[in-house]
Amino acid sequence: MSTTWHRRKFIKSSAIATVGISALTSGIQSFAAPKKNKVRMGLIGVGARGVGHLGLCLRRADVEVVAICDPDTNWAIPNARKKIQELYGNKKVAEYTNGNEDYLNLLKRDDIDAVIIATPWEWHTVQAIAAMKAGKTPAVEVCGAMDLQDCWDLVNTSEATGVPVFGMENVCYRRDVLAVFNMVKQGLFGEIIHLQGGYQHDLRGVKFNDGEHLYGGGVEFGEKGLSEAKWRTLHSVHRNGDLYPTHGLGPVSNTIDINRGNRLVSLVSMATKSRGLHKYIVDHPKGGPNHPNAKVEFKLGDIVSTLIKCNNGETIMLSHDTNSPRPYSLNFRVQGTEGLWMDDQKSLYVQGKSPNDQWEKTGDFKDPNSYFGKYDHPLWKRFEKDASGAGHGGMDYFVINAFVECIKRGVEYPLDVYDLATWYAITPLSERSVAEGGMVQAIPDFTKGKWMNRKPTFGLSDEY
Amino acid sequence: MSTTWHRRKFIKSSAIATVGISALTSGIQSFAAPKKNKVRMGLIGVGARGVGHLGLCLRRADVEVVAICDPDTNWAIPNARKKIQELYGNKKVAEYTNGNEDYLNLLKRDDIDAVIIATPWEWHTVQAIAAMKAGKTPAVEVCGAMDLQDCWDLVNTSEATGVPVFGMENVCYRRDVLAVFNMVKQGLFGEIIHLQGGYQHDLRGVKFNDGEHLYGGGVEFGEKGLSEAKWRTLHSVHRNGDLYPTHGLGPVSNTIDINRGNRLVSLVSMATKSRGLHKYIVDHPKGGPNHPNAKVEFKLGDIVSTLIKCNNGETIMLSHDTNSPRPYSLNFRVQGTEGLWMDDQKSLYVQGKSPNDQWEKTGDFKDPNSYFGKYDHPLWKRFEKDASGAGHGGMDYFVINAFVECIKRGVEYPLDVYDLATWYAITPLSERSVAEGGMVQAIPDFTKGKWMNRKPTFGLSDEY
């Protein structure tokens, strides 16, 4: 995270205007470079999130980290240097730290194949588009778009330049999520009819800190906050919708082949009143009713619920719940004509297999007789040791692995620009639905009809 | 349940037209009869559901069962006679069994104070209105309205006649639900922001049977079905929406004072594809792809999700899920600024009390140190023994008890005509939203503004 990225006032990149539209109908070619043994990587954003990706890249023999970029020379860059020193020793990695636009200089290098973008949300689209135009294939961290047009700009630039985009939705690779994906693909739950997911994560200690320590410990945000508190909290001040849909939506999208034989058609969102963030400030020992931040009016409803209708007749229920005290949960449910799984219960039910009307435990991956033991995904079987110690319970390993392996092989990303655009679109559409009192919103078909022919590519093997 | 009730083709009662509107502004007086020691009761509908109420009435010293009514002389009436013989011996109870309209003759008696209506859904409003016009106060079983106008007719008739209506939502009296109600009212979860509820009940064995036995055992319905399969299944053939909203909505409505300082403002519904009922017929040993019912197209989506926005800023998520194999669950969640309860997990979380980020078990009512032990509602503490053995884990006892006690005391019902109309309205509004592709629907204010002044009456003491 950075001290200055956030100062940019949502100015739209005009880059897209310079891309010729003659290429738009030709679709995205596979990555232009031939197959290769090593990927030369740049990292744009090496804050609390990006430094994790940096570490994973530095560890890989098939990746050469060429350059990093972050305007935050106080915290992010020193932190990244430590990681580089630890894993690369004295080997040189270039640095771009000269303000918000220095990433453009990183992109001018001719010794970089790909970039990982882990910057404040409002920069993702701008930087991904610039990367594509510079011929570098971007992996883009998750969030939601600032505006629906951002999603179109991503897609259109990718189609125009022929450069693919990788969507870094790590929860798609969570071990239980992949096991359930496996169950679905093997027909355990029959035909899928309803899915749930969400981001139920008490972020109050992320949205506020004391400006010196990463989590909690104060009620500061914006200029006085550190790391995510510096920029992420502003979105809770000014916006009301599902601001972070992909952790829930990504995994369930794969399950029902969204953009590959199926698509999201429409959504409605409703938000509760906003209480949690104000209350946190007022109740905090370093806050109180007279703290200046107690005057801030947070627009984000504490819980935003979104219902999505899919072309093949499924519904998806998403929840966004980040301002309240609660145990962490992504609220997953996958339900079909033969049974269902519920993450919160660590349980499933399968007609004719489970005792009548009773939940069964999903069990432990180490137990070959449990459901999770039986359906453990080939990726986890193969890479469990490599993933061990990687961020978010190992999931982050698989994200970087998929990105790198696809570049090396010159094949399509399993989570691509159409997926990213579709998931990102939920946020502005959800904001619009909330603003319009729950009015239903059409979800664009970013594939422009190609979803009818596109084939599933996610999670098909143990390779990436 | 009956063999013939279901034949009536949704003909609207014209009764309402004959009620003078001069009384409409005066509101509903308390029950006209003075306080009394004994309630003289008639039962309209003594099928699988009604016979349970009959038994509870027959057992009470403060109730005299005067008459029963059901056109089904093959199954319902003989069954009810057995119950009467068992509890009343040779004491005479009048019978009205002469077709669908004979309830009107029951209502003409001058020795009946109140009636319990437990008939097929399409009869509830018609019979309740007739009862009010006859000066008998009706307790009405739950379902959803056939049309929004039914709800207005209920309210307007009640206001015009001065006869109150009791809404028989038994889940409001479920022991855990009342304990959580208690927790909310004592502020354990802080300010409530979001609630969930629903009817997740695999009814395939209720919607289909062999015409001779009550549950399952075949794929017949309509004329060839028995009991609920005879009429309830038709609603799944012809309608698509949340057909049975009250078990989820009733309890959460009480929690946030709906119609008493708060109200439901708008809703959206989305339905999944319809697969479960057809599949049940095709997969059943007595069905198969060539069974005539395999040709029936069921309109009801397997899962219907509904989001509701409340005037005081809360949201409610309802689910209707009756066509799929799954363990029973009413899907309750109550979430506030200090914590939340989730029925499915038998768990709650309270900031500052629960271990950080970890669920706590709600515990056992017998354990005074558990949450449920501590917050057990006074009603259950007082009536646990009386309720023991009553239907649906004792809940049904409390429903009849509240109805009878309020009549005896001449006081307002805790679940009244405005509640019933509001809950009933969810069904036709949900159908309309589904039909309109998720379009948001305004929920009428059946109290005509009185909700701003009305005070909570539910669950305030150990009396009823």
Residue in chain A lying closest to B341 (CA): A326
Position B460 in a domain: no
pLDDT score, position B95: 98
- Tokens 């989820």 belong to B248
Distance CA B147, CA A348 (A): 37
- Beta strands A192-200 and A264-271 are unpaired
For position A444, which CATH number holds? 3.30.360.10
CB contact under 8 A, A315 and B271: yes
Mean pLDDT, chain B, rounded, equals: 93
Q: Which residues of B touch A336 (CB under 8 A)?
A: 324
Residue in chain B lying closest to A203 (CA): B357
Q: Do B235 and B298 belong together in one domain? A: yes
Dihedral of the alpha carbons of B10, B15, B21, B23, in degrees to the nearest 10: -110
Closest approach of A94 to chain B, Cα-based (Å): 41
Q: Are A247 and A235 in contact (CB under 8 A)?
A: no
Write out the two tokens for A299. Answer: 């627009």
What average pLDDT does this structure show over B177-187? 98
The H or E element containing residue B248 is: helix B246-255
What average pLDDT does this structure show over A402-425? 96
Residue in chain B lying closest to A317 (CA): B305
Question: Does A33 score more than 90 pLDDT?
Answer: no
The string of DSSP letters for B334-349 reads EEESSEEEEGGGTEEE
pLDDT score, position B29: 53
Mutation target among B440, B441, B443 for the A interface, most CBs of A within 10 A: B440
Q: Do B328 and B436 belong together in one domain? A: yes
Write out the two tokens for A132. Answer: 């594509």
Instruction: Please say which residue of A129, A163, A197 terminates a domain.
Output: A163
Q: Could you tell me which residues are beta bridge partners of residue A67?
A: A42, A94
Question: pLDDT tens, B2-40?
Answer: 334 543 333 333 333 334 333 333 456 554 446 789 999
pLDDT score, position A151: 98
Q: Do B28 and B78 belong together in one domain? A: yes
pLDDT score, position A47: 95
Q: How many domains does chain A have?
A: 2
pLDDT score, position B34: 61
pLDDT score, position B238: 98
pLDDT above 70 covers a percentage of chain A that reads 93
Position A388 in a domain: no
pLDDT score, position A29: 52
Compute CA A188 distance to the chain's CA centroid, rounded to the nearest angstrom.
28
Instruction: Please say which residue of A105, A138, A163 terminates a domain.
Output: A163
Instruction: List CB contacts of B446: < 8 A, sequence separation 6 or more.
Output: B151, B152, B155, B259, B417, B418, B421, B422, B425
Of A301, A307, A437, the CB nearest to B438: A307
Position A357 in a domain: yes
Question: Does A20 score more than 80 pLDDT?
Answer: no
Distance CA B94, CA A48 (A): 78
Mean pLDDT, chain A, rounded, equals: 93
Q: Do B52 and B98 belong together in one domain? A: yes
Question: Does A14 score more than 80 pLDDT?
Answer: no
SS (H, E, C) chain A: CCCCHHHCCCCCCCHHHHCCCCCHHHCCCCCCCCCCCCEEEEEECCCCCHHHHHHHHHHCCCEEEEEEECCCCCCHHHHHHHHHHHHHCCCCCEEECCCCCCHHHHHHCCCCCEEEECCCHHHHHHHHHHHHHCCCEEEECCCCCCCHHHHHHHHHHHHHHCCCCEECCHHHHCHHHHHHHHHHHCCCCCCEEEEEEEEECCCHHHHCECCCCCCECCCECHHHCCCHHHHHHHHHHHCCCCCCCHHHHHHHHHHCCECCCECEEEEEEEECCCCHHHHHHHHCCCCCCCCHHHHCCCCCCCEEEEEEEECCCCEEEEEEECCCCCCCECCCEEEECCEEEEHHHCEEEECCCCCCCCCEECCCCCCCCCHHHHHCCHHHHHHHHHHCCCCHHHHHHHHHHHHHHHHHHCCCCCCCHHHHHHHHHHHHHHHHHHHCCCCCEECCCCCCCHHHCCCCCCCCCCCC
Instruction: List CB contacts of A211: < 8 A, sequence separation 6 or more.
Output: A218, A220, A224, A225, A226, A229
Position A181 in a domain: yes
Position A78 in a domain: yes
Q: Which residues of B touch A267 (CB under 8 A)?
A: 438
CB contact under 8 A, B202 and A357: yes
Reduce the DSSP state of residue B145 to 3 states and report it: coil
Q: Do B141 and B228 belong together in one domain? A: no
pLDDT score, position B345: 84
Question: pLDDT tens, B234-275?
Answer: 999 999 999 999 999 999 999 999 999 999 999 999 999 999
Q: Do A308 and A178 belong together in one domain? A: yes
For position A149, which CATH number holds? 3.40.50.720
Q: Do A108 and A246 belong together in one domain? A: no
pLDDT score, position A430: 98
Question: pLDDT tens, B92-151?
Answer: 999 999 999 999 999 999 999 999 999 999 999 999 999 999 999 999 999 999 999 999
What average pLDDT does this structure show over A235-253? 98
Dihedral of the alpha carbons of B442, B445, B449, B455, in degrees to the nearest 10: -120
Question: Does A283 score more than 70 pLDDT?
Answer: yes
pLDDT score, position B8: 35
Distance CA A122, CA A100 (A): 12
Position A405 in a domain: no
What average pLDDT does this structure show over B279-301? 98
pLDDT score, position A27: 53
CB contact under 8 A, B335 and A309: no
Residue in chain A lying closest to B308 (CA): A270
Q: Do B71 and B185 belong together in one domain? A: no
pLDDT score, position B5: 52
| pTM over 0.90, yes/no | yes
- Candidates B367, B344, B368, B340; CA nearest to B353 is B340
ipTM of the complex: 0.93
pLDDT confidence bin for A406, thresholds 50/70/90:
very high
Q: Do A199 and A247 belong together in one domain? A: yes
Position A403 in a domain: no
Q: Do B159 and B186 belong together in one domain? A: no
Question: pLDDT tens, B38-93?
Answer: 999 999 999 999 999 999 999 999 999 999 999 999 999 999 999 999 999 999 99
What average pLDDT does this structure show over A239-263? 98
pLDDT score, position A21: 35
- Candidates B262, B355, B335, B268; CA nearest to B306 is B268
Q: Are A328 and A268 in contact (CB under 8 A)?
A: no
pLDDT confidence bin for B392, thresholds 50/70/90:
confident
pLDDT score, position B28: 67
Position A333 in a domain: yes
pLDDT score, position A390: 83
What average pLDDT does this structure show over B163-170? 98
Residue in chain A lying closest to B338 (CA): A325
pLDDT confidence bin for A24, thresholds 50/70/90:
very low
Question: Does A280 score more than 60 pLDDT?
Answer: yes
Closest approach of B51 to chain A, Cα-based (Å): 26
Q: How many CA atoms lie within 13 A of A388 on its CB side?
A: 5
Closest approach of A217 to chain B, Cα-based (Å): 16
Distance CA B39, CA B404 (A): 7
pLDDT score, position B3: 39
What average pLDDT does this structure show over A403-428? 97
Question: pLDDT tens, A104-127?
Answer: 999 999 999 999 999 999 999 999
pLDDT score, position A5: 52
Q: Do A155 and A188 belong together in one domain? A: no
Dihedral of the alpha carbons of A195, A201, A206, A208, in degrees to the nearest 10: 110
CB contact under 8 A, B345 and A345: yes
Instruction: Please say which residue of B118, B133, B163 terminates a domain.
Output: B163
Distance CA B418, CA B423 (A): 9
Compute CA A175 distance to the chain's CA centroid, rounded to the nearest angstrom.
17
Q: Do A79 and A98 belong together in one domain? A: yes
Of A190, A273, A309, the CB nearest to B438: A309
Q: Identify residue B119 by its one-letter amino acid code.
A: T
Range of the domain at A122: 5-163
Q: Which residues of B touch A270 (CB under 8 A)?
A: 268, 307-309, 315
